[in-house]
């Protein structure tokens, strides 16, 4: 969902096709309020080479309600994701480095390190907020 530019339209369409009383469950990468104007977030998005359409948790919650969902709940997975990325980075830079270089090649490995370094920064600053979404269509 991170690449979808019009999330309100997505939520409206999901609501339309979901059976009455059905539950919408998804995961999306959200951003903190501060991330919208953050140079480190822009650098992360640039180095990863993808177009991210990041929303804040508050805007996501409002958009789901506005689409017509009820019982909207967001579960911030930032702390877990940050720990996982740091653990993975540590392994790839350490005990798995030779295997990663063998499988990826030096250029791809160096790019991966650059992406991870930028991601580490935005995660440490709390700007990137992987989040689980849950909402129900009224019965």
User: What are the pLDDT digits (tens) for 3-32?
Assistant: 999 999 999 999 999 999 999 999 999 999
pLDDT digits (tens, 9 = 90+) for 31-79: 998 887 789 988 998 999 888 899 999 999 999 999 999 999 999 999 9
**How many structural domains compose the chain?**
1
- Rounded to a whole number, what is the distance in angstroms from the first to the last CA of the chain? 25
Nearest to 36 by CA among 124, 122, 131, 132: 122
125 domain residue, yes or no: yes
69 domain residue, yes or no: yes
pLDDT of residue 74: 98
pLDDT of residue 51: 84
Is pLDDT of 103 > 80? Answer: yes
Residue 83 and residue 138 in contact, taking contact as beta carbons nearer than 8 Å:
no
pLDDT digits (tens, 9 = 90+) for 80-89: 999 999 999 9
101 domain residue, yes or no: no
91 domain residue, yes or no: no
Q: What is the CATH number of the domain that holds 127?
A: 3.40.50.150
22 domain residue, yes or no: yes
Domain range for 38 = 7-83+120-136
């Amino acid at each position: 969902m991170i690449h979808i530019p019009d999330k309100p339209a997505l939520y409206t369409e999901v609501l339309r096709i979901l059976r009455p009383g059905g539950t919408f469950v998804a995961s999306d990468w959200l951003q903190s309020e501060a991330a919208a104007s953050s140079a480190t977030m822009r650098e992360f998005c640039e180095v990863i080479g993808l177009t991210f359409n990041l929303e804040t948790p508050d805007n996501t919650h409002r958009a789901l309600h506005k689409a017509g969902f009820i019982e909207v709940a967001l579960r911030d997975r930032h702390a877990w994701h940050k720990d996982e990325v740091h653990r993975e980075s540590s392994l790839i830079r350490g005990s798995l480095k030779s295997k990663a270089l063998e499988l990826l090649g030096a250029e791809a490995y160096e790019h991966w390190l650059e992406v991870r370094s930028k991601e580490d920064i935005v995660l440490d600053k709390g700007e990137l907020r992987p989040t689980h979404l849950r909402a129900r269509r009224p019965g």
